[in-house]
Amino acid sequence: MEKGLKRAFDSGAQNYDSARRKLVPCFDDFYRAAIELIPFERDAEFDVLDLGAGTGLFSALLAYSFPGARITLVDVSDEMLARARERLGPGGARFRFVERDYAENRGLDGPYDAIVSALSIHHLADDDKRALFRRVREALKPGGVFVNADQVRGETDAMERRSHARWLERVRELGASERDLAQARERMKFDRTATVSAQLQWLREAGFREVACSYRNLIFAVYSGEK
Ligand SMILES: C[S@@+](CC[C@H](N)C(=O)[O-])C[C@H]1O[C@@H](n2cnc3c(N)ncnc32)[C@H](O)[C@@H]1O
C-alpha cells in the first residue's frame, strides 16, 4: 500500500469519527444496508473479518446488531486501530485487532462466516481489488458472505462528475468544516474507485454467487457475494 495513504489515516485518526456523518451524508442507510446483508439470526455466534476497520465504526455497529459475533479488525494504520481498541477493547475476547496490509499477497487466515469492509477497498488498484476478492473467497466458509460498503466510481464519466458534485454540495449543506474537507481531500488523493458493474463482475470471476448491489447513493454503494 502507498505510504502516503497510511500517513493520511494516521494523522486524521483523531478527528475521523466526528466528521463521518457529514462526509457520508447517507451514513445510516449505508451502514444499515451492509448489516442487513449479514445472513445470521441476531443471537447467532459467528466469525467476522473487517478489512480496513479503521476506528472500528462498522465493527461496532455489527457488534451491536449481532451480540454473538466475534470480530477480527484489520487495519494498516496503527493510529486508527488504536481508536478501535479504545472503542471495542472493553468488549473483551470477542474482538481481535490485527495491524496489517490486507493487500499483501498472503492468506487472510480464517475461515470466517462473513468478511466485511467499509470505505477501504476503493484505495486498492483494480488488479489488487480482484486479487483481494479471490483471497476473500478463500478465507470464507462455504455459504459465507462478503459485504463491501464502499465509495465507487460512476458508471460513466458524466455520472461520476455529477455524483461527485452532488456529494460535495450535500457535505457542505451538512456543515463539514474546512478542516474535515481538507483531510477528506488528502485521503481522496489515494482513491482508486471502480464502477459497481466492474466490481460485481470481478466477484463473479472470483467464484462468488448471489452477487448483487443492494444500495446506491451518490458516490456510495453496498454490494455482496456468497461463497
Ligand atoms: C475511510 S477508513 C474506513 C474505516 C471504517 N471501515 C469505517 O467504516 O469507518 C479506511 C481505512 O482503511 C484502511 N486501509 C486502507 N487500505 C488498507 C490496506 N491495504 N490494508 C489495511 N488497511 C487499509 C485505512 O488505514 C483506514 O483506516
Per-residue pLDDT of the chain (227 residues; tens, 9 = 90+): 667 777 777 776 777 777 888 999 999 999 999 999 999 999 999 999 999 999 999 999 999 999 999 999 999 999 999 999 999 999 999 999 999 999 998 999 999 999 999 999 999 999 999 999 999 999 999 999 999 999 999 999 999 999 999 999 999 999 888 888 888 888 888 899 999 999 999 999 999 999 999 999 999 999 999 99
Q: Which residue out of 75, 117, 126, 128 has the highest number of ligand 1 atoms within 8 Å of its CB and is therefore the one to mutate? A: 75
**Position in ligand 1 atom list of the atom nearest CA 101:** 20
**Contact residues of ligand 1, CB 6 A cut-off:** 1, 9, 52-54, 57-58, 74-77, 80, 101-103, 118-120, 123
**Tally: H helices and E strands in the chain:** 9, 7
* Per-residue model confidence (pLDDT) at position 156: 97
Cis peptide leading into residue 25 (ω within 30°): no
* Per-residue model confidence (pLDDT) at position 104: 94
36, 28 contact by CB (below 8 A): no
Only one residue has cell 470466517, namely 112
What CATH architecture is 3-226?
Answer: 3-Layer(aba) Sandwich (3.40)
Give the bridge partners for 98, in sequence order: 74
Cell of 31: 451502514
Centre of ligand 1 from the C-alpha of residue 75, in Å: 6
Q: Whose CA is closest to atom 8 on ligand 1?
A: 118
Phi, psi angle pair for 139, to nearest 5°: -85, 0
Which of 149, 163, 153, 108 minimizes the C-alpha distance to 126? Answer: 153
